[in-house]
Every structure is written in structure tokens, then in C-alpha cells.
Amino acid sequence: MPNKSKLDSPSGLSDSQHAADPLHRAEMIEAMIAKYSSGLEYALPKVEHNGERHVAAETILLTGSTGNLGSEILASLLSKDRVRRVYALNRRSSSFTIMERHKVRFEDRALDVSLLSSPKLVFLEGENDLPDLGLSGSITKELQQELTMVLHMAWTLNFNMPLSSFESQVKGTRSLIDLARSCERRADLRFLFAASVTVAHAWDRSNGPYPEKLVMDAKYAIGNGYGESKYVVERILAKSGLDATSLRIGQICGGEPNGAWSTSEWFPVMVNVSLSLGVLFEAETVFDCRWIPMDAVSSTIIDVGFTSDDMPFAVNIEHPYRAPSVILMQGLRNSLIRELRLPSNSLPLISVPEWNKILQRSAEEHIFPHIDFLAKFIRENWLKADNEVELPVDFALSNGMRLSKTMRKLKPVDTDLVDKWVKYWVASGFLRSSMLCKGQPGRARL
């Protein structure tokens, strides 16, 4: 079940399907919650551990291990003595074997490929729409007997799709919940779900930071189908009777060892498009950078899962120390000039509104790939109706800081890490000096 980003792919649905009024959107969210909560009315009694779990060695079911975050988590788990076995569950593929898919991802992220030969690792392939996820009866029984933890990381990363397009993944999550509820070691089992800060897309900032608890009003999740679907799962998990935690993960950036950052995500696409436009923006208010490196997110999730403390229902995972985005954008400019050997006066930094005008004009002219989808992303996620910059939502971070030594020790994102991103993008061929617009901004070279 790989976590596949599709920022640069159309959803195939009309805008009217995304633009339903807020009341209707909230009703659709509640309807999906009700549908996939059916049968959980008589929830299993929640077991309080008082800080104690009777687990000497973890047996973990991990979904999405062929994805960017999932592969990092898999590598970390296989390196830990307290992990006895990892069942890595992913969707079937007709093109590549499960080993080939993992090997490609590990090589891309400079992870230790030899870990994929570990006797701890068991590959599984399944489907969300099939009973018991398409797993055989013998495998299902084995999981019921052995599991102590579920790490559900698999989700399609696409901000263009409506809630209905994520229904099969919500259905698959309910199947995972049912599996966890049937486990013999349920009293000690933990279920961690990779949610997203997008569950707070419409949060009222006058309420203060988004809390680390279940928010019952669906109106605050309205924004895009991705975040709405994550919110749906949060509500279902709250009814499951499991020792469950929703990990609301913020913007992940490339981290150690090689700065790998998927070239289909919005920021790499923005860098690519800005190179073709010939200008970058000064991001004073767009993002006061709270991005967290991929390796740190992986370590934080494992810290939370392995804690000896009681598990909270929600952990908001954003960088606790903000980096000035102006410094990062200047560092990005310097790195691009250096790595691509551009003239020193290349890529001037301009205001966000001015940069957005150039972007939207170029999108209207369909000048180059990615731009239509980036322009839509900027309109829907950065700008208010009056085209003023939308300030980001703040998140309470106390649970993560309490449970994760990784979060407590994090240093702000700096220009050294920015250099790694750029080197990774250049090495992959995603950024090329020939892309630089050398004339009027917005008149790009393909």
C-alpha cells in the first residue's frame, strides 16, 4: 500500500464535486464515519496499562513500507533489537515484485538495502477492497496470534481528490481495525495511524493551537478530501476500543542521509516551477518553517510507539523550533545558483503576491508541466479570498515533546539541509540549468 503522491496528476473530477457547501461537506464526512463505525457500537473494553505493557519483543504490522515515510520506518524497525518481526503489508503490483519495490525505495533514500534480507521481515500483499484485506486464512491467524502493534502509514497523497475517492482506504483501515480487535494480545496491542495536520484545514485560529485530542466537529476538517479522510479515520479509531493514537504529521522535508524529497510534492514542484519562471519568492508569512525531516518523523513515530507511558489519542508532529523562511529561501537561491552553476544574479526573490501573479498568468497559458496543479495548490492552501497570504494553523506539541526524545533534540531546519535537497533534485535530473528562464519572468524554457 505505497504512499503515492499525485500533486502533478489531475483527479479526473469536476471542480463542482470538490466545492460543495461546508454543511454538505460536513454531512458527507459524518456519513462516512457512521458507515465505517458500524459494528463498533459495543466497543471492546479499553485496558489501562498504568505505564506497563507486557511485551518483551514487538511483532509489528506496517502498512505502506514501499512509500517514502514507510521505508524509513521499516529500516529503523529492522535495526532494533526489541523488534522480533515486521510484517510489511503493501498493495499488489503487476509490474514489480515486492522486493524490487522496496529495493528501489531504499536505494533512492540511501537506506541499508541489506536490511531487506533480514529474517525479521515478512512481506505481505493485500487489497483494501477484499475481505480480510485479501490475506489468506493462515496469515490472518498468524497475525491474530502474534501482533503487538499496527503502524498504518499507507495513504494516497493527493490534495486534488474528493473524500469519496479515499473511501476504499477508509474501508481498508476498518479491516485493519477489525484485525487488531481480533488479536489475542489485544490488551497490549497499539494501533498508530499516520494522520495529517490537514485535519485542521478549517480550524478557527481564534480557538488557539489545534489540540492534541479528538476534535468532534467535522467542520474544522473541511478543505480537501485527503485531510477529510484522515479525520474520518480518527473518529472511527476513537470508537474502536483499541489503544489507538492518531499521528497528525505536518510537512515532511528531505532529511538524512541524502536529503531525498519526493519530486512530486508541492515544495519540490514549486522549486522546479520557480526555476522555469526565473524568480523565487520571499516567504515571510507563507511558512515560518515548521517542516520536519523524514528521518526525524520516522524516529518520532517509533519513539511514540515504543513509549512506556500510556498512549495519548493524538500526537501532533511538527517541528517544535521554527526556522525563518526568509533565510531558507535565500539559502535555496544560493544553493541553486551554486549547484546549477547559474549567474550570480539569477532567481531574484520577489514578494509572494508578485510571484503568484506570474505563476497564475503562466498557468493560464499552460506554459509547462506541473504549473496548473501548483497554481491550484497555492490558491487553495496559501491565499485567502482577497489573495492575502493565509497564516498557518498552530498546533499543540506537548505530547510529542513529552514522548519523543527525537522531537526534544531536533534542531531547526538550516541551509545545510537545503543544500542536500537541491543536490538530490539535481542528481535525479529534476532540476537542470537549462530550465532557467533567462528572459521575461514566466517565459520558461522547456
List of domains in the chain: 15-249 (3.40.50.720), 266-289+322-391+413-435 (no CATH)
Q: Are 391 and 287 in contact (CB under 8 A)?
A: no
- What pLDDT score does 323 carry? 86
Across the strands, what pairs with 317?
249
Poorest-confidence range of 7-11, 80-84, 386-390? 7-11
pLDDT band for position 16 (cuts 50, 70, 90) = very low
The per-residue pLDDT for range 396-439, each reduced to its tens digit, is 999 999 999 999 999 999 999 999 999 999 999 999 998 887 55
Q: What is the mean pLDDT of residues 376-389?
A: 64
Q: What is the mean pLDDT of residues 138-155?
A: 98
pLDDT > 90? residue 20 = no
- What pLDDT score does 252 carry? 97
Poorest-confidence range of 134-143, 212-221, 281-290? 281-290
Residue 60: left if φ>0, alpha if ψ -120 to 50, beta else—which one? Answer: beta
- What pLDDT score does 7 carry? 38
Q: What is the mean pLDDT of residues 77-94?
A: 95
Instruction: State the average pLDDT for the chain.
Output: 88
Query: pTM higher than 0.75 for the full model?
Result: yes
The per-residue pLDDT for range 314-345, each reduced to its tens digit, is 999 999 998 888 889 999 999 999 999 999 99
The helix or strand, by DSSP H or E, that contains position 34, with its residue range, turns out to be helix 22-37
pLDDT > 70: what percent of the chain? Answer: 86
pLDDT > 80? residue 346 = yes
Q: What is the mean pLDDT of residues 351-368?
A: 82
Distance CA 73, CA 90 (A): 14
pLDDT > 90: what percent of the chain? Answer: 71
Give the relative orientation of helices 266-277 and 415-427 as an angle to the nearest 10 degrees: 80
- What pLDDT score does 327 carry? 85
Q: What 3-state class would DSSP assign to 284?
A: coil
pLDDT band for position 286 (cuts 50, 70, 90) = low
- What pLDDT score does 10 carry? 30
Q: Are 260 and 67 in contact (CB under 8 A)?
A: no
- What pLDDT score does 381 carry? 67
pLDDT band for position 13 (cuts 50, 70, 90) = very low
Name the more confident of 257 and 365: 257
Query: DSSP class of residue 163?
Result: G
Q: Are 222 and 27 in contact (CB under 8 A)?
A: no
* 257 cis-preceded (ω within 30 degrees of 0): yes
